[in-house]
Amino acid sequence: MSYYQGKRILITGAGSGIGALMAEQLGRRGAEVIVTARRRKPAEDVARRVQAAGGRGHARLLDVSDLDSIAPFRDQLHTEIGEIDILVNNAGVVFGGEFEQVALSEHLNTLQINTLGLIAMSHAFMNDLRNAHQGHLVNIASASAYIGLPFGSTYAASKWAVLGFSESLRLELKERGINNVAVTTVCPSYISTGMFDGVRNPILSPMLTPEKVVKSILRGVKHRQALVVEPPLVRGIDLLKGALPGPVWDEVAKRSGISTSMRHWQGK
């Protein structure tokens, strides 16, 4: 029997990209998946794919940037479907460009969705996860949570916050003796979903496929890993950055393409 068989899983931002693929793969493993998106048709299309794959799929509208709507959404979900076992905070946006040339509204929207919406969802559904036999919180961060990202400063800031929040909460739950709830933070490099069209990948860090990332996530959640990092070499960035003098690291980041990768971003 699959680890995911019969588990009820809510995925935010699942109308496309890795959220949609994850929903379908979970359906293949016998899960009941609540597909949420800001638009009805994409959510319904993915829910049908979940069902065709052998799982149970539900489509629901949810905009995590509307923080006041999250608690009522949870209450309605409890009435119509029930409590969840796993929450995947996948919804996210990115805006690239020279800092002052990017509209302030886009900077703030990045934080609202990537960070505040994620925290609000985690807060709203934490009791569900605590009530589950094996509750799990999965937060999609980024490799940019480890380093500065020129031309994507607010995106990087939002993901640094996600990593810090997730690690702090994971340790808090452990300290409180809440051992049935795991927290997994996912830190991938650039993924070929359209969000990062135009970026130039750093040396030794090819563009990741959604399939590879989803496979790593599902494996990591099954084994209740604290971190899922793709590609694995990202794990060494923090050590290298800490070991080198600041000016030397800056030069390494430039020559390797890390600090220039977002300069030509054209994503959606």
Active site residue ranges: 155
Helix H or strand E encompassing 206: none
Q: Are 8 and 31 in contact (CB under 8 A)?
A: yes
Query: Two tokens at 220?
Result: 């990591």
Tokens encoding 44 = 């319904």
Residue where the block lists tokens 């409180």? 176
Strand partners, 187: 229
Beta strands in the chain (DSSP E): 8-11, 32-37, 56-61, 86-89, 135-140, 181-188, 227-230
Q: Which of 268, 265, 258, 256 is nearest to 101 (CA)?
A: 265
Pair 192, 209: CB distance under 8 Å: yes
Between CA 225 and CA 201 the distance in angstroms is: 27
Contact in structure between 123 and 173 (CB atoms under 8 Å): no
Q: Decide: 225 and 185 in contact? Cβ < 8 Å.
A: no
